[in-house]
């Protein structure tokens, strides 16, 4: 079993203080960890930011916490193009039935493992959490409950979750991690359909925005960029692996399937011989295909990103503001969703200033140094945590954690330490131009641009 302790906050203290965001492949190579460089199929892990301490600042008390949590490790999905369960099961069949004819007489053929290989992807489990996904979420719930124990003084917690089965189940395991059997009495779940009906309350805004969803906005760009990038990085791998087959011409699609088999076998059985077909540079180019696609799909390269991320950010801002005026404000906010929701929210918060619709990620080469690595931000069980502190100077401060590491906010001043500590004074945070439109008007902008369904109840995040 993989060591879960790698996700513990306490280990953050020992995390490297070198930021991997500003180096090239040579520098990345040292940090290379197969399971942490698989884009959104990466194992849960802490990102390498600037290594700021995650401890609560000494002069401050925690007053509010907001969790936006991705579901855990899963089986292949049904609607995922080249990585769909159907495609991968087909590839498993082809390898086993010889329609992808491996030449076993070649000494040290790297595919020779296929002879005794037992495939693990099963069409029956399509879209479901894996057992590791259940453990990840249970463990995360326990860690969050332990860290924020003093905020957990309510009788009942309102848990909002996108209604897809694996997200609902993730929220349940997490709640068991927080409350054990008491979870039955301590939680009230709200399931938000993954269609247009929840409007701005949605936890999958790319679906609840009718103009965006019905016109397939961004989709063409995503597909074209993905294809263009695969045409850049795959041919040399195809040429390298092709000689190990007899009378067969390997395709880019075949090799793409091998990458996915590597990633999914890792999540389902913790190891995969397919991974040994690739070197670190191959894997990081595979990783980059996720970054190219997610940056365009409602991410920082999309003109729609502030529209899609806006409602969560405005709701978050309203909840943060509530501490100024209300004596019994809500302290704990829990929301469960998908990777495709978290990236737009983080973009609307100003996390990825180096990538814009005018300056998208290139599809001609992998630049290595750029902010929005899906591996770092939305691996399986990835999360965005917003902490609100009240400090000795009587001011409130905001801090974001990405997968339990402090995200180094730089746009709104310093915290009480008066040095770059990842904290921003609340009003400076809310009024910073990078997120002002979202914190003040995110919901109206969404409703207006999307022609979204009006909501009669507002869910708070």
Ligand X SMILES: *[C@@H]1O[C@H](CO)[C@@H](O)[C@H](O)[C@H]1NC(C)=O
Q: Could you give the residue numbers annotated as active site?
A: 71, 339
CA distance 222 to 231: 14
* Choice between 92 and 374, CB closer to ligand X: 92
Assess contact for 205 and 306: CB atoms under 8 A.
no
Spatial CB neighbours of 303, under 8 Å, sequence gap ≥ 6: 357
Q: Which is nearer to ligand X, 48 or 274 (CB)?
A: 274
Per CB under 6 A, does 195 bind ligand X? no
Among 181, 327, 358, 419, binds ligand X (CB under 6 A): 181
Q: Binding ligand X by CB under 6 A: which of 116, 247, 327, 364?
A: 247
Q: Give the residues across from 74 on adjacent strands.
A: 129
At residue 6, the 3 state secondary structure works out as: helix
The Cα–Cα gap between 310 and 439 comes to: 7
Q: Which is nearer to ligand X, 61 or 93 (CB)?
A: 93
**Nearest distance in Å: CB 435, ligand X:** 8
Query: How many Cβ atoms are within 10 Å of 318's Cβ, its own excluded?
Result: 17
**Does residue 431 bind ligand X (CB under 6 A)?**
no
Q: CB-wise, 132 or 178, nearer to ligand X?
A: 178
| Minimum separation from the CB atom of position 360 to ligand X (A) | 17
Give me 265's structure tokens. Answer: 């076998």
Question: Of 32, 113, 117, 248, which lies in the binding site for ligand X, with binding defined by CB under 6 A?
Answer: 248
Pick the closest to residue 262 from 80, 395, 381, 92 (CA basis): 92
Considering only residues 282 to 301 of the shown chain, the ones binding ligand X according to CB under 6 A are none
Specify the residue, 182 or 393, whose C-beta has the smaller distance to ligand X: 182
| 84 is a contact residue toward ligand X (CB under 6 A) | no
Residue (17 or 325) nearer to ligand X, CB:
325
The answer to whether 354 contacts ligand X (rule: CB under 6 A) is no
Task: Confirm or reject binding of residue 185 to ligand X (CB under 6 A).
Answer: yes
Question: Which residues have CB under 8 Å from 383's CB, separation 6+?
Answer: 67, 68, 69, 70, 140, 342, 401, 402, 403, 404
Helix (H) or strand (E) holding 337: strand 332-337
* Residue from 5, 17, 105, 108 in contact with ligand X (CB under 6 A): 105
Q: What part of residues 308-327 is at the interface with ligand X (CB under 6 A)?
A: 324-325
The yes or no reply on residue 90 touching ligand X (CB under 6 A) is yes
Rounded Cα–Cα distance for residues 343 and 331 (Å): 24
Q: What six digits make up the tokens of 229?
A: 């990038």
Q: Which is nearer to ligand X, 85 or 129 (CB)?
A: 85
- Closest separation between CB of residue 197 and ligand X, Å? 8
Nearer to ligand X among residue 133 and residue 309 (C-beta): 309
- Shortest reach from residue 2's CB to ligand X, in Å: 31
Verify binding: residue 182, ligand X, rule CB under 6 A.
yes
Q: Quick check: 94 binds ligand X (CB under 6 A)?
A: yes
Report the residue from 184, 219, 227, 228 that binds ligand X according to the rule CB under 6 A.
184
Compute the least distance from the CB of residue 20 to ligand X, in Å.
27
Phi and psi at residue 52, to the nearest 5°: -70, 145
| Alpha carbon 200 to its chain's center | 21
Question: 33-72: which residues touch ligand X (CB under 6 A)?
Answer: none
The yes or no reply on residue 103 touching ligand X (CB under 6 A) is: yes
- Does position 97 interact with ligand X (CB under 6 A)? The reply is yes
Backbone angles phi, psi at 405, to 5 degrees: -110, 145
Half-sphere exposure of residue 55, counting CA atoms within 13 Å on the CB side?
A: 6
* Angle separating helix axes 131-147 and 165-179, nearest 10 degrees: 40
Question: Binding segment for ligand X among 98-106, 141-149, 206-214, 410-418 (CB under 6 A)?
Answer: 98-106
Q: For 155-191, b where at least 16 C-beta lie within 10 A, e where not — what string?
A: eebbbbbbbbebbbbbbbbbbbbbbeeebeebbebeb
The rounded distance, in Å, linking the Cα atoms of 129 and 173 is 11
- Which residues here bind ligand X, judged by CB under 6 A? 90, 93-94, 97, 99, 103, 105-106, 181-182, 184-185, 246-249, 306, 324-325, 433, 437, 441, 444-445, 448, 456-457
């Amino acid at each position: 079993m993989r060591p879960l302790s790698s996700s513990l906050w306490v280990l953050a203290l020992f995390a490297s203080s070198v930021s991997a965001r500003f180096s090239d492949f040579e520098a990345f190579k040292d940090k290379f960890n197969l399971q942490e460089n698989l884009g959104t199929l990466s194992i849960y892990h802490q990102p390498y930011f600037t290594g700021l301490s995650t401890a609560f600042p000494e002069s401050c008390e925690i007053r509010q916490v907001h969790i936006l949590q991705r579901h855990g490790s899963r089986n292949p999905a049904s609607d995922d193009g080249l990585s769909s369960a159907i495609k991968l099961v087909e590839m498993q069949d082809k390898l086993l039935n010889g329609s992808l004819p491996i030449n076993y007489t070649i000494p040290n053929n790297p595919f020779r493992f296929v002879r005794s290989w037992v495939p693990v992807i099963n069409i029956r489990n399509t879209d479901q959490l894996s057992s590791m996904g259940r453990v990840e979420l249970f463990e995360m719930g326990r860690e969050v409950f332990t860290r924020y124990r003093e905020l957990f003084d309510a009788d009942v917690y309102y848990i909002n979750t996108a209604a897809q089965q694996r997200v609902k189940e993730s929220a349940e395991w997490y709640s068991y991690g927080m409350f054990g059997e008491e979870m039955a009495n301590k939680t009230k779940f709200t399931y938000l359909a993954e269609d247009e009906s929840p409007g701005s309350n949605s936890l999958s805004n790319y679906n609840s925005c009718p103009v965006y969803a019905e016109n397939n906005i961004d989709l063409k760009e995503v597909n074209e960029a993905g294809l263009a990038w695969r045409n850049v990085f795959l041919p040399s791998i195809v040429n390298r692996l092709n000689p190990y087959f007899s009378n067969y011409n390997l395709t880019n699609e075949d090799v793409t399937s091998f990458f996915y088999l590597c990633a999914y076998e890792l999540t389902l059985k913790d190891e995969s011989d397919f991974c040994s077909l690739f070197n670190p540079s191959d894997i990081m180019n595979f990783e980059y295909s996720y970054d190219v696609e997610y940056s365009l799909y409602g991410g920082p390269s999309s003109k729609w990103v502030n529209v899609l991320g806006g409602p969560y950010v405005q709701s978050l801002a309203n909840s943060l503001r509530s501490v100024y005026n209300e004596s019994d404000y809500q302290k704990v906010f829990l929301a469960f969703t998908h990777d495709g929701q978290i990236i737009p929210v983080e973009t609307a918060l100003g996390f990825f200033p180096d990538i814009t619709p005018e300056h998208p990620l290139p599809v001609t080469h992998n630049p290595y140094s750029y902010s929005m690595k899906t591996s770092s931000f939305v691996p399986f069980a990835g999360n965005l945590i917003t902490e609100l502190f009240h400090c000795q100077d009587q001011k409130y401060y905001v801090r974001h954690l990405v997968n339990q590491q402090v995200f180094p906010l730089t746009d709104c001043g310093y915290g009480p330490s008066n040095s770059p500590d990842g904290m921003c004074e609340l009003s400076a945070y809310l009024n910073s131009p990078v997120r002002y439109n979202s914190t003040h008007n995110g919901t109206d902008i969404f409703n207006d641009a999307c022609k979204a369904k009006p909501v009669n109840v507002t869910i708070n995040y």
